[in-house]
Structure 1
Amino acid sequence: MKVAVVLSGCGVFDGAEIHESVLTMLALVRAGAEPEFLAPDIPQAHVVNHLTGQVAAGENRNVLVESARIARGKIKDIARANPEDYAAVFFPGGFGAAKNLSDFASKGADCQIQPDVLRFAKAIADAGKPACYICIAPAMLPFVYGRGVAVTIGTDTDTAAAVTAMGGQHINCPVKEFVVDTERKVVSTPAYMLAENIAEAATGIEAAVKATLALI
């Protein structure tokens, strides 16, 4: 059972959240699924020094190349991936989901999704295959599934308001739980939008992964 895991770089502040990405992969493998990593071959929105939290002026990195760090080199350009090859898709969070896969971090409710990512996500949705969006990644859901899609990013009021403005039906959710839109086969969980440690993030992610695989 091959599933896609879409990454957005490497590092919480400018790419994929590493804990969330690894926890997702671990939960998938333990459940008997075969994860395959994908990422867009595009420049990062910017590069952040994770020691200082400051933008590294003049430094440029590529989302696919940086994502390969987490994937141990085994990763595909999402533009070349065939959605028909996968039984489900998983989107770990991290600011990369809101800076590279979309521009939600800078434009909020007026954001757009990177075209290759949107094409792939919509193909999965149109085929009726399940999807799991983690942390801030669920902010993309209204663009993929349309108005009324049930979604959670936890309990952050401002982010929830932006998701609602885009047409999502936001549902507050504790860190160790998840929300399921059964009609659309979409699962979302807050992870580090709320988690205070890796164990809390793991509980919610593992539960969300299990729920997503059950929809296949």
Structure 2
Amino acid sequence: MYHLSRNGARFQMFAPNQQQMNVMDHMKKQPMSGDNRNVMLESSRFSHGQGQMQMHDLNKLDVNSFDGVIFPGGHGIVKNLSSFVKDGKDCKLHGDVERVLKDFHRSRKPIGLSSMAPVLACRVLPSIEVTMGHERDENSRWGNWPYTNMVQAVKNMGARHHVHEPFEKNKVVSTPSFMWETEFHYHYIFDGIGNMVKHVMRLANK
């Protein structure tokens, strides 16, 4: 949201109107029992519900009303927007997520993907090229890459993976974001997301 606003974009935010797979306790890093929340209502916490920051139902997203689309990533990608957490490379996508990705790709409008979001595009768009960071866990002083199994999964889906940050090919722009766990270099993650947003906006204006 910051990078879109900083670069002068007008945007809207969308989320599916459905229950979450689970609610995480981020202190204990495990699901909470006895709590169930709606994805769209939880997503609205980011927006404060005013103007272009208002959250909309994903089933209302029309490709003809926008110049590009960005999926910001996070564990909701593999739990709520797809069945990846259960089915891996054979996962199914939420119906509106699949529709949106195919509509924008068919219309030759740019698609931005951050963090785990390339999983979605690789599942339904044949032979695309993305980056999700390193293909093996470096575990260096710079941090580590704990989700390298997802890189293998997108390759098994038929995608081509690049160790690049960010990477853009055929109007699909991706950046690893929090696929990288680092204690001291969050500005690289921030800058990577910013570069992805700039690429999407540049492609949208061509």
1:1-216 equivalent positions in 2, closer than 5 A: 25-73=1-49, 74-146=54-126, 148-156=127-135, 157-173=148-164, 177-182=165-170, 185-194=171-180, 196=182, 197-216=185-204
Distance in 2, Cα, partners of 1:98 & 1:108: 9
Query: What is the one-letter code of the residue matched to 2:90?
Result: D
* Conservation of the 8 A alpha-carbon contact between 1:43 and 1:61: yes
SS of residue paired to 1:34:
coil
| Amino acid in structure 2 at the alignment position of 1:202 | F
How many residues align? The count is: 186
Q: CA deviation at 1:53?
A: 1.2
Return the TM-score normalized by structure 1: 0.82
Amino acid at match of 2:192: G
TM-superposed CA distance for 1:195, in Å, is 5.0
**CA distance in 2 between partners of 1:51 and 1:194 (Å):** 19
User: Which protein is bigger by CA-based radius of gyration?
Assistant: 2
Counterparts of 1:83 and 1:50, CA distance in 2: 35
Deviations 1:100-122 (A, max 9, x none): 11121222101111001111221
TM-score, length basis structure 2: 0.86
Given that 2:74 and 2:115 are in contact with CA atoms closer than 8 Å, whether structure 1 keeps it comes out as yes
Q: Does the CA-based 8 Å contact 2:101-2:121 persist in structure 1?
A: no
CA distance in structure 2 between the partners assigned to 1:26 and 1:48 by the alignment: 25
2:48 is aligned with what amino acid? R
8 Å contact kept, 2:89–2:123: no
Provide the C-alpha distance between the structure 2 equivalents of 1:121 and 1:77, rounded to a whole number of angstroms: 16
Q: Which amino acid aligns with 1:111?
A: C
Supply the AA of the counterpart residue of 2:27: L
- Cα separation, 1, equivalents of 2:8 and 2:113: 20
| Amino acid corresponding to residue 151 of structure 1 in structure 2 | V
Q: CA distance change for structure 1 residues 195 and 30 in 2, over 3 Å: closer, same or farther?
A: farther
Aligned CA RMSD, in angstroms, stands at 1.3
